[in-house]
Amino acid sequence: MTDTSSSSVSPAGRTVTVRVPGTTANLGPGFDTLGLALALYDELTVSVRDEPGAFVEVHGVGEGEVPTDETNLVVRSIAHTFAAYGQELPGLHLVAKNAIPHGRGLGSSGAAIVSGVMAAKGLLEGIVEIDPLGLLARATELEGHPDNVAPALFGGLTIAWTTPDGPQFKKLIVHRGVSPLVLVPQETMSTALARSLQPESVPHADAIFNVSRSTLLIAALIQSPELLLAATEDKLHQSYRASAMPETDRLIQELRAAGFPAVVSGAGPSILVLCSDPGQRLAAAELVGSRAATPWQALVLAVDFKGATVVLHPDEVK
């Protein structure tokens, strides 16, 4: 059970190390519901220090770009979690080693939020116990929807939904034949912009279409990868956002015409290809390499089955 006691105990002298996978959401038809964890990781070390405030070092992706003070998203996530359990935030020193691309539809903001929530869990170990639904609730409060933070927290394929009691999730194990390929362009895409292009209502037939494809997609991912091309069809969101990322849309159409189960990764502009065998990934990457008008990076990734981890080093005093 989650302890929401307001008594505050200092985690002085503690250091934790957190590892969080990148994610890809929607997976075509599963808009705001389905997410998949990928073996691409941000790593974070957080130490409690005597001085108040937060000091952040960023290495890798985002270095020299993201805030290095209390406005940093990871710091805000730690602070949010401490406050939710009635704990006083100590001074913090953070060292972030980031590999997840920013603004490309691979869950970088969700990973930052989960990093902070998991760091808070580790720093509060033995003081406040935070259960899985508590972690998901805190992360969703910051992210706004659970489809990215659920797989980042728990790994694998996740189905996420909300109830009056808060967000819920179900984790599923992906068939070993599923071989993700992510194609990452140089340009970025704002999630807020992508969502602004979404209509408030869609045709009834399109809603039925996506219900059928999203249920088929779960079967394809956990049992029948040969169905992935049909299962990744979508009429709810990708076509509405196509004008904001024309090359992404063009390449997805070309990939699908060639038989590859290609979709927009999250809000884009990256492309996710849910291949049914490793060899198919190479062929898909070659197609994009030969037809793209701009440079694209091909990331051959495994599915992450573990999710976010946190290790407490109680004897290290920083």
| Binding site as annotated, residues for ATP | 101-111
Q: Count of CB atoms within 10 A of residue 313's CB?
A: 15
Residues forming the annotated binding site?
101-111
- Which are the contacts of 317, defined by CB distance < 8 A and separation ≥ 6? 13, 15
Is the preceding omega at residue 146 within 30 degrees of 0, hence cis?
A: no
Q: Is the dihedral of CA 47, 48, 50, 55 positive or negative?
A: positive
First-last CA distance in the chain: 31
The CA distance from 287 to 18, in Å, is 37
Contacts of 205 (CB under 8 A, 6+ apart): none
Tokens of 133: 């639904």
Coil vs helix vs strand at 112? helix
Round to whole Å and give the CA distance between 271 and 182. 6
Query: Which residues are paired to 272 by β-bridges?
Result: 182, 263
CA dihedral defined by 209, 210, 212, 215, rounded to 10 degrees? 170
Overall size of the chain counted in residues? 318
